[in-house]
Chain A
Amino acid sequence: MGKMKSQMNEGYCLGIESSADDFGVGISSFDGKIASNVIDAYVPSEGGIHPMKAARHHAEVASKAVQEAFQKSGVRPKDLSIIAFSQGPGLGPCLRTGATVARALSSYFGIPLVGVNHCIAHIEIGKLRTRAEDPVTLYVSGGNTLVAAYDAGRYRVFGETLDIALGNCLDVFAREVGLSQKPGLPFGAVIEKLAVNGKELLPLPYTVKGMDLSLSGLITAATALARKEDYKLEDICYSLQETAFSMVTEVTERALAHVGKKELLLTGGVAANKRLQSMIRAVAEEHGVKYDAVEAEFAIDNGAMIAWTGVLAYKHGLTTPLDKSFVRMKWRLEEVETPWMR
């Protein structure tokens, strides 16, 4: 029993994230120290993420990223107790590439495999980094826009986009009006920079339905304004941000008032936006709850979040046998049991 206990507190998990355009490898100790967090992003030369091209990128950089994660951490392969991987939700070809790497490492080192839900990993790493215990989480990225909180054994989704994700909305608009992104300066950051110089609030559809919201109409309307040439791009970017963020903030506030928790956590790729941060902070202050935005390195898709969530699952006896390690592209976070929350 004593040995068992020490096993549970000492060890390392290597986590692999590959659900979309980022290939990430992170190593976490069993007590939540992040030893390394390597991220290699696929930046398309034009258009959005092509799943097959992104998957090819992941396959090309995988071994280098794994090596780098070991080097940066000083952790040796024999120190690892488990391999965790992002099992879903996400793009099939991308997820499969990460899963294949994870299966190979697990069988080569002869250690257990743990499949992790990507959305839950975002919440768990956020809690680890900000010391939040039981927050309402707003998770906004290229693929997700949802407000979740824990209740009775699982995370529950209280509010969600009815169509596209916030990051997707910004990306599509940026491409439609001919903006360009580069490594380190994604579309969201480009729009944020332009929006700072916007002054006039142009009318755009504001669509909040209960605790859900709809963002697809915004792209159409904002793009139409841009084509008219009567308006400054700065003003359109400003209006797009103000309207979209106000909607997201309103549903977050609704969820917060509904569940009555005392912490509010902001995470995901769009969490890096300063304007969104200030809005969510304002809501937290108004309701007297603790606010935290997850630092960028751990808010975007990353391997450390998969590694840490793998540790939590493993400590509660959850592993994923090889024949159950198929990827789950549509895996909703409500489906996942989270025994570590009890």
Chain B
Amino acid sequence: MDALEPPRLIKKGAEANLYLADWHGRKVILKKRLPKEYRPAKLDAQIRTYRTIHEPQLMHEAKKAGVPTPKIFLVNVKDTTVVMEYIEGTQVKLLLNQISEKERKNLCFKIGQEIAKLHLFGLIHGDLTTSNMIMTTKGKVFFLDFGLGEKNTELEAKGVDLHLMKRALQSTHYQFAESCFESVIDGYKDIASVKTLKSVLDKVKQIERRGRYVAERKQVS
């Protein structure tokens, strides 16, 4: 990593620090998973190593599914660090509350399409929030942070994925949560079949009913 200029910390996330750096003339993000003092060292090392290895693999798979993700340049398992392409654009979290209703609808539709592409390819993102998506000036939506993702074709995993997306909209974009999620569903339907969508949405309902204090819990599905 000698070629790296002194990296500049741009985000202290929950599980990793993100540094902006120059890598052989490329603008890159250096994602370093730092040890967490709170958990036992053995568990901590397992979690960080696992995620450092699997995240780039999943990002690579996502590209095959046709979902934009940053290019991976280097994975340093020992150092639990990944060097990846820096994506110019705006975080969807910041964008969503600023744009017009029509633009919002289109953006959410696009997000739904990308999620469906992942799912049809057997990929689960695992942390679908608007913080983990970047919209480029060319209108592409890049998906980031696959650290909690997995390869999984089960309906349950897809259901949880969409459930998390819905919750993220409800907590962070509560003003438009409902219409945004509807557009996500429309986008999903555009890629997956109506039958697939229906079974995933049924699963989402089932998952919600497992949770705490859900009015519909007692209803028979």
Residue B3 CB within 8 A of the other chain: no
Q: Are B14 and A160 in contact (CB under 8 A)?
A: no
CB distance from A134 to the nearest CB of B (A): 16
Contact residues, B82-141 vs A (CB, 8 A): 126-129, 131
CA distance A152 to B171 in the complex (A): 11
The contact string, 1 if C-beta is below 8 Å from chain B, for chain A 149-177, is 00110101110111101000000000000
Residue A246 CB within 8 A of the other chain: yes
Q: Report chain A residues within 8 Å CB of B168.
A: 210-211
Q: CB within 8 A of A287: which of B12, B43, B172, B212? A: B12
CB distance from B188 to the nearest CB of A (A): 18
Q: CB within 8 A of B43: which of A144, A152, A201, A280? A: A201
Q: CB within 8 A of B212: which of A143, A156, A253? A: A143
Q: Report chain A residues within 8 Å CB of B174.
A: 151-152, 154, 156
Known contacts A201-B40, A250-B14, A334-B170; A165/B164 CB under 8 A: no
Residue A206 CB within 8 A of the other chain: yes
CB distance from B196 to the nearest CB of A (A): 21
Q: Are A210 and B39 in contact (CB under 8 A)?
A: no
Q: CB within 8 A of A257: which of B12, B37, B160, B170? A: B12
The contact string, 1 if C-beta is below 8 Å from chain A, for chain B 36-77, is 111110110001000000000000000000000000000000
Contact residues, A218-270 vs B (CB, 8 A): 242-243, 246, 249-250, 253-254, 256-258
Known contacts A257-B14, A283-B38; A246/B43 CB under 8 A: yes
Residue A129 CB within 8 A of the other chain: no
Q: Determine the main DSSP class of A at the interface with B.
A: mixed
Q: Report chain B residues within 8 Å CB of A146.
A: 212
Known contacts A209-B148, A212-B167, A287-B12; A162/B39 CB under 8 A: no
Residue B6 CB within 8 A of the other chain: no
CA distance A329 to B40 in the complex (A): 38
The contact string, 1 if C-beta is below 8 Å from chain B, for chain A 187-214, is 0000000000000010000101111100
Known contacts A158-B171, A201-B42, A209-B126; A330/B211 CB under 8 A: no
Q: Are A242 and B40 in contact (CB under 8 A)?
A: yes
Q: Are A250 and B167 in contact (CB under 8 A)?
A: no
Residue B215 CB within 8 A of the other chain: yes
Q: Are B212 and A89 in contact (CB under 8 A)?
A: yes
CB distance from A320 to the nearest CB of B (A): 19
Q: Are B207 and A257 in contact (CB under 8 A)?
A: no
Q: Are A162 and B213 in contact (CB under 8 A)?
A: no
Q: Are A330 and B129 in contact (CB under 8 A)?
A: no
CA distance A63 to B80 in the complex (A): 61
The contact string, 1 if C-beta is below 8 Å from chain A, for chain B 188-221, is 0000000000000000000100111111010000
Q: Report chain A residues within 8 Å CB of B127.
A: 209-211
Residue B25 CB within 8 A of the other chain: no
Q: Report chain A residues within 8 Å CB of B36.
A: 250, 282
Q: Report chain B residues within 8 Å CB of A206.
A: 43, 47
Q: Report chain A residues within 8 Å CB of B126.
A: 209-210
Kindly list 12 other residue pairs between chains A and B, CB separation below 8 angstroms, not including A206-B43, A242-B40, A286-B37.
Answer: A145-B212, A146-B212, A160-B211, A162-B160, A162-B210, A163-B210, A209-B127, A243-B43, A278-B38, A282-B38, A330-B213, A334-B170
Interchain residue pairs with CB less than 8 A apart (28): A146-B212, A151-B171, A154-B174, A156-B170, A156-B171, A160-B211, A161-B211, A162-B160, A162-B207, A163-B211, A209-B126, A210-B127, A210-B148, A210-B164, A211-B129, A212-B164, A242-B39, A246-B43, A249-B39, A250-B15, A257-B12, A257-B13, A258-B172, A283-B38, A329-B213, A330-B213, A330-B215, A332-B213
Across the A-B interface, the 5 shortest Cβ-Cβ residue pairs: A279-B38, A257-B14, A246-B39, A282-B38, A254-B14
